[in-house]
Amino acid sequence: MRVTATVNGQSQQADDVWEGESLLYILRERMGLPGSKNACEQGECGSCTVYLDGVPVCACLVAAGQVEGREVVTVEGLADPDALHPVQQAFLETGAVQCGFCTPGLLVQTHDLLARTPRPTDPEIREALAGNLCRCTGYEKILDAVRLAAERGAGGPA
Ligand code: FES
Ligand code: FES
């Protein structure tokens, strides 16, 4: 089957897609977008989080055929060509990235959180990121990153 979707603002097409392929698979293997990571492929870790029609989803759980005609934004789509998104910059500056496997999903989820809640409380941050697992950082640096991004108005005015 052929799958056509808008990915990071551009029309993308994948041919000969098998019914069992996931959105994550076609992003990484057919569309040249390896930013979203495959850590569990079971919807447990959040490392594959992308926006589908503006809603964060685990791309490993979405069948490729389900995205026909829809809009996908991946971690690659958050940044401008010339600059990191403020959420990305905050993760970088606070040391919230170690191996980086969880980072793309955390960035998308944080981007969504701050768009909805520009000045989240710590419990709100923890709840929003509860589905994103990190084996490296102990989460404190990640909390620092979200707080810093919020302070800088990454989600817009509070
Ligand atoms: S790879 Fe999709 S949730 Fe873990
Ligand atoms: S930085 Fe390694 S899993 Fe989070």
Per-residue pLDDT tens digits for 106-155: 999 999 999 999 999 999 999 999 999 999 999 999 999 999 999 998 87
pLDDT score at 81:
84
Distances 122 to 13, 113, 129, 132, 142 between C-alpha atoms, Å: 40, 12, 11, 15, 11
Torsion 3-58-98-156 (CA) sign:
positive
Atom of ligand 1 nearest to the CA of 41: 1
Q: Are strands 3-7 and 10-14 parallel, antiparallel or unpaired?
A: antiparallel
Per-residue pLDDT tens digits for 37-94: 999 999 999 999 999 999 999 999 999 999 999 999 999 999 888 899 999 999 999 9
Dist CA 84 CA 129 (whole Å): 21
pTM beyond cutoff 0.85: yes
Among 25, 36, 45, 102, which is best to mutate for testing ligand 1, by the most ligand atoms less than 8 A from CB? 45
Beta bridge partners of 63: 22
Dist CA 104 CA 102 (whole Å): 6
pLDDT score at 156:
65
96 CA → ligand 2 middle, Å: 8
